[in-house]
Amino acid sequence: MYPRKRKTSIVVALPASTTADIPHLREKTFRLGFIGRTLAIFRVDKVLIYRDKPENQDFKVMGKILEYMATPQYLRKKIFRLTPELRYAGVLPPLRTPDHPTRRLSSQLFDGEIRKGLVLKSSKKGSFVDVGVEKPVFVRERVKAGKIVNLKIFRVNGEIKGEIVSLDEIPYYWGFSVELVKQSIGEIVKSGKFNLKISTSKYGKPVEEVVDGLREKWLNSKNVLVVFGSSTEGIKEILARENLKPEDVFDFNLNMIKSQGTETVRVEEALEATLAIFNFLFED
């Protein structure tokens, strides 16, 4: 049974310095693999990578590895070239989300199944799409080659056909997307794209103190933004470079790990703890 889609969409914003403390690319990749799994486990819809410091940090590395991880295995070699960022992609764990099926034969496809596919070629009659089986699936729509689409599978007289469906038409969780953002975190939060904006900080209010107001706001929001600082600089310090304070731009600034036993909490640790608590409080 596929995990259902959340009524409230979750977007997570992570700093580009998330892996900056790790010198070797292999260990960076391993950490990002853990992050990708966490995003998928808790049904996050999108992850934004933002520059928390003026220098580049691991901005492109994070984006490339998480994009690779979010792509079904059967499309990776066709979409990604072997770039230096992906040198250790072999250590990434599989997501095993509904958009990452392991069945590789057309005979195993079933009516109504949805698959991510890569458009191989198109003509006036339609397009041929690679959905991870031994032969491409034909759709009547003419779509530019190289585009990734979501395809609903059906059979006509024993022959497999497909029709393109939008993300809104997919009733269950369909993995996460990745976006590298040029804007500062203050600009992202003030963009007006999110109904509810949450930052996480050890200086924030313990979540149990505001849970009633948070729950009401969450359940009445279509999309929620959850922003994390780095292990060396919190949201307060990052926003200070824009002459902003958390209370200026966020609806809630929350301490999600009360009485932490370590001096610092790494991004991947804060991410897992925060999403686990939200999953418990706002299961939908």
Q: What confidence score (pLDDT) does residue 30 get? A: 97
- Token pair belonging to 247: 């209370």
Same domain, 199 and 237: yes
Does 1 fall in a domain? no
Tally of structural domains, the chain: 2
From CA 246, how far away is CA 253, in angstroms rounded? Answer: 7
Same domain, 89 and 192: yes
Same domain, 116 and 200: no
Same domain, 90 and 213: yes
Does 243 fall in a domain? yes
Q: What confidence score (pLDDT) does residue 2 get? A: 87
Q: Which of 85, 78, 156, 88 is nearest to 121 (CA)?
A: 78
**Predicted TM-score of the model (pTM):** 0.95
Same domain, 274 and 203: yes
Same domain, 76 and 149: no
Does 235 fall in a domain? yes
Low-confidence residues in the chain, pLDDT < 70: 284
Does 215 fall in a domain? yes
From CA 73, how far away is CA 175, in angstroms rounded? Answer: 13
From CA 202, how far away is CA 191, in angstroms rounded? Answer: 25
Same domain, 163 and 265: no
- Domain of residue 119, residue span: 106-169
pLDDT, tens digit, 9 for 90 and up, residues 68-107: 999 999 999 999 998 999 999 999 999 999 999 999 999 9
Does 112 fall in a domain? yes
